[in-house]
A and B are shown apart, each in its own frame.
Chain A
Amino acid sequence: MQSETAAHPPSRLAGHFASLPVQDNAARLGMWLFLSTEVLLFAGLFVCYASYRFLYPETWAAGSRLLSLPLGTINTVVLIGSSFTVALAVDFAKQGKNRLVFFMLLLTLAAAATFLVIKGFEYSHKFHAGELPGVHFHMKETEGLLPGMPLFFSVYFAATGLHALHVIIGAGVLTWMALKAWRNHFSVGNYVAMENAGLYWHLVDLVWIFLYPLLYLI
């Protein structure tokens, strides 16, 4: 959307909406609708988790001890911190402080990169130990192999893999928002894009808040 003159700000209101607040509420509701489908996407994996844990409770407890608790905990703190910086980015966008939005998003992207690097270290260790999903599972018998252990690692890789994919997509969306902030895009009445991007990132954090204790701790 390009402005014709400086005195007449361009309208971003589509003809079929009564007003900008109505339009932005529709955008927000649409985002939440999408987020609910995302929740359902992860729900499938949580149902797998629940059923296999129900069948193999001891294996699940033993499996969680095979994961690196320090790395999982660091990643939890990193993601919570990134959620905080995104919340602030939205807040600054609302006030039209584009410089601060940009800075907050840079911090968030750094957190996203940290999360993925740590995840990479975790994965490489799992690959080495043969704790892999599905047919690739080849854990040594001496290392505490229990019935159902292959299922634990299938769920671990499916859940954390899908989550990591969301971190990558989220980082892409936030990069886009950072570019908008760089171009002074956001203002008092124009921040719904940043708000919706923020919602996506918070969902990524929300999923991890559940994955962390369920996979690493119990």
Chain B
Amino acid sequence: MDPKDYKKNVAEYADAAHGVVHSHFRTYLIVFMALLLGTALTYTTGRMHLGNWALVIALVIAFTKGTLVAMYFMHLAEAKGTTRLLMGICLLFIAVLIGYVLGDFGTRFRPANSQGSKWSDLPASSTTRGESPDMPRELGTTP
């Protein structure tokens, strides 16, 4: 490749080859502080015994922290549309997958669920011996 073209590419690569590359230090420092704050917040709320809300609050904080990392540390905020679409679709399909699986457990004929679980009326006879709760003891010991 011609060196002239190379120089042109470098020039168009950054705003300019001389000095116009600006530092993101301030942004990164703010994001870092926000992430520490989020960690403190999730630690505090996680110890407050909020019952069912604990999961919701923890997930909201985790998604906020995750978005900060992805947007600023990973530059998704200034990325092209394809990249963002890729991650968006990825998360969407994970949500669909979790939805399917939990929908299955939640709507099953109750005796079909694992013994001792919240969705079964059968006691867990085997778990106190440290065996798999999915396997009834009678079946587990049959030779």
Give A residues with C-beta under 8 Å from B. Answer: 7-9, 11, 13, 19-21, 24-25, 28-29, 32-33, 35-36, 39-40, 43, 46-47, 50-51, 54-58, 69, 73, 76-77, 80-81, 83-84, 86-88, 91, 94-95, 137-139, 141, 145-151, 188-189, 195, 198-199, 202-203, 205-206, 209-210, 212-214, 216-218
Contact = CB atoms under 8 A, between A and B. Distances in A.
Contacts of A51: 101-102, 105
A95 B23 contact: yes
A188 B101 CA distance: 48
A146 B93 CA distance: 32
Contacts of B139: none
Given A36-B87, A148-B116, 12 more contacts: A11-B5, A21-B12, A32-B83, A36-B90, A55-B117, A56-B118, A83-B35, A84-B32, A95-B21, A141-B128, A148-B127, A150-B132
B28 A88 contact: yes
B109 interface: no
B14 A209 contact: no
Contact of B55 (A77, A199, A218): A218
Contact of A29 (B39, B58, B83): B83
Contact of A188 (B21, B47, B69, B87): B21
A58 B1 CA distance: 65
A142 B114 CA distance: 23
If over half of B's interface residues share one DSSP class (helix, strand or loop), that class is named, otherwise mixed; here it is helix
Contacts, number: 192
Given A32-B83, A218-B58, A87 B73 contact: yes
Contacts of A32: 79, 83, 86-87
Contacts of B73: 83-84, 86-87, 198, 202, 205
Given A21-B9, A29-B82, A213 B127 contact: no
Contacts of B25: 88, 91
A149 B131 CA distance: 10
Contacts of B21: 94-95, 188
Contact of B133 (A13, A87, A150, A202): A150
Interface in B113-135: 113-119, 124, 127-128, 130-133
B5 to A, nearest CB: 8
A138 B132 CA distance: 11
